[in-house]
Amino acid sequence: MKKKIAIVSNLSWNLYNFRLSLMNAMRDAGYEVIAIAPYDKYSQKIIDAGFEFHDIKMNAQGINPIEDIKTTYAFYKLFKRISPDVLCQYTIKPNIYGSFVANILNIKMINNIAGLGTLFIKDGLITKIAKILYKVSQSKADRVFFQNRDDFNFFTNKGIVSAQKCDILPGSGVDTNRFRPQYKEESEKIRFLLIARMIWEKGIAEYVEAAREIKKIYPNVEFCLLGFLDVENPGAITRNEMNHWVEEGVINYLGVSDKVDEVIQSADCVVLPSYYREGTPKTLLESGSCGKPIITTDNVGCRDVVDHGVNGFICEPRSSDDLKLKVEMFLALTHKERVEMGRKSREKMKREFDEKLVINKYLDLLTQQQQDQSQKPVFLSQRLSKA
């Protein structure tokens, strides 16, 4: 009988864009794979890909305790009904409330803490409560994956979770076959691109201000934004604010796209001046895999993607002046130097962030769990070939 694995997240969009390769690999390895997330337009894409899908009500950004109790009860009813052998959980609410339920129902769980988000930028009361919830919920997890060394150290040094049950992944990994370099002719117009949810913590204000100053000196430079507007987040940028920047002539807003690889190919350099508590930004991995130079901040998760001066530049968080300086450093490069910087990006992504590394760690762990059902799994990760 096939082992049943449930993949749980707070958005179907997240599952479809970040976890589909892993889900396919698990299915190919002989597991029955079930997707669980709130229903949105990407849910049908998951169903069309041949996966069983279950809708669950969840406010991804809310902090209403009544809503969270309802979400926890919804997890209980669903997990009890479908009876998975293993839960692979992503994002804060599945990681916390799904883990509470999995412990009650004695379901094995592999949790992935893919960045800490806005919640951990300031150490307020809500952050203190979140730390307690994480500590209680993760104590029963079979494995807790982190996407960068900073988050691993944060959780283990503060005693939130035992280091013995933790491991570090190279972000969510990147499909280096899909995201690959394409030839781009040299042009007088230089295009910078920022891909993210449109929230202030992604460094949008710093990007806009740097663009405003740069365009006074370099009129042939274009600054683009791609990503969701009016998201459910206290730091969301409004459509009126975006329209103002567009009308000012500072920003070209590209909306959203399911073909992000094609948009990346149109850029000369990808920028993410984030001070959000990132995991490892997927957009930077995809951009690097496409052979694009990167400008990002000396921030958790972001700094791991760039070797300063080799495949891009690292700037100070929350500093439009330093971001402007790094943009000018890029503009001062010759076309040949920019191409070489992009080539180094591609090499780094293949070497350090290929999604096969992530998939193999999951498959290794699942194999070990099957081999020893009588005790907590001891993680083995030797099968890291990129074949």
> Per-residue confidence at 140, pLDDT binned at 50, 70, 90?
confident
Structurally, the chain folds into a number of domains equal to: 2
Asked if residue 107 and residue 9 are part of one domain, the reply reads: yes
- Kind and range of the H or E run holding 344: helix 335-352
**In this structure, are residues 169 and 143 in contact, taking their beta carbons and an 8 Å threshold?**
no
Tell me, yes or no, whether 377 lies in a domain: no
Asked if residue 150 and residue 215 are part of one domain, the reply reads: no
Q: Please, how many CA atoms are within 13 Å of residue 172, restricted to the half-sphere of its CB?
A: 24
**In terms of residue numbers, what domain contains 303?**
190-352
What is the pLDDT, as a whole number, of residue 371? Answer: 73
Q: Is the pLDDT of residue 121 over 60?
A: no
**Predicted TM-score of the model (pTM):** 0.87
Mean pLDDT score of the chain = 91
Q: C-alpha angle with apex 95: 381 to 63, nearest 5 degrees?
A: 155
Q: Token pair for residue 120?
A: 């951990």
Asked if residue 129 and residue 240 are part of one domain, the reply reads: no
Asked if residue 301 and residue 164 are part of one domain, the reply reads: no
Q: Please, how many CA atoms are within 13 Å of residue 111, restricted to the half-sphere of its CB?
A: 28
Asked if residue 311 and residue 221 are part of one domain, the reply reads: yes
Tell me, yes or no, whether 381 lies in a domain: no
Q: What are phi and psi of 246, to 5 degrees?
A: -65, -45
Asked if residue 105 and residue 237 are part of one domain, the reply reads: no
What is the pLDDT, as a whole number, of residue 75? Answer: 97
What is the pLDDT, as a whole number, of residue 373? Answer: 60
Asked if residue 228 and residue 132 are part of one domain, the reply reads: no
Tell me, yes or no, whether 33 lies in a domain: yes
Residue 174 Cα distances to 92, 113, 287, angstroms: 22, 17, 10
Tell me, yes or no, whether 69 lies in a domain: yes
Q: C-alpha angle with apex 350: 364 to 19, nearest 5 degrees?
A: 50
Alpha helices by DSSP H, 91-177:
92-93, 99-105, 125-138, 149-157
**In this structure, are residues 355 and 21 in contact, taking their beta carbons and an 8 Å threshold?**
yes
Asked if residue 25 and residue 111 are part of one domain, the reply reads: yes
Asked if residue 243 and residue 123 are part of one domain, the reply reads: no
Q: Is the pLDDT of residue 263 over 80?
A: yes
> Per-residue confidence at 240, pLDDT binned at 50, 70, 90?
very high
Tens of pLDDT, residues 3-45? 999 999 999 999 999 999 999 999 999 999 999 999 999 999 9
How far is residue 302's CA from residue 272's CA, in Å, rounded to a whole number?
8
Q: Token pair for residue 23?
A: 């889900």
Asked if residue 348 and residue 364 are part of one domain, the reply reads: no
Identify the three-state secondary structure at position 72. Answer: helix
Q: Is the pLDDT of residue 254 over 80?
A: yes
Q: Is the pLDDT of residue 200 over 80?
A: yes
Tell me, yes or no, whether 178 lies in a domain: no
**In this structure, are residues 382 and 364 in contact, taking their beta carbons and an 8 Å threshold?**
yes
**In this structure, are residues 2 and 73 in contact, taking their beta carbons and an 8 Å threshold?**
no
Asked if residue 99 and residue 12 are part of one domain, the reply reads: yes
Tell me, yes or no, whether 212 lies in a domain: yes
The helix/strand count (H/E) of the chain reads as: 15, 13
How far is residue 149's CA from residue 152's CA, in Å, rounded to a whole number?
5
Asked if residue 154 and residue 15 are part of one domain, the reply reads: yes
Tell me, yes or no, whether 286 lies in a domain: yes
Q: Is the pLDDT of residue 187 over 80?
A: yes
Tell me, yes or no, whether 183 lies in a domain: no
Beta bridge mates, 89: 8, 111
Tens of pLDDT, residues 83-102? 999 999 999 899 999 999 99
Identify the three-state secondary structure at position 53. Answer: strand
CATH assignment at residue 107:
3.40.50.2000
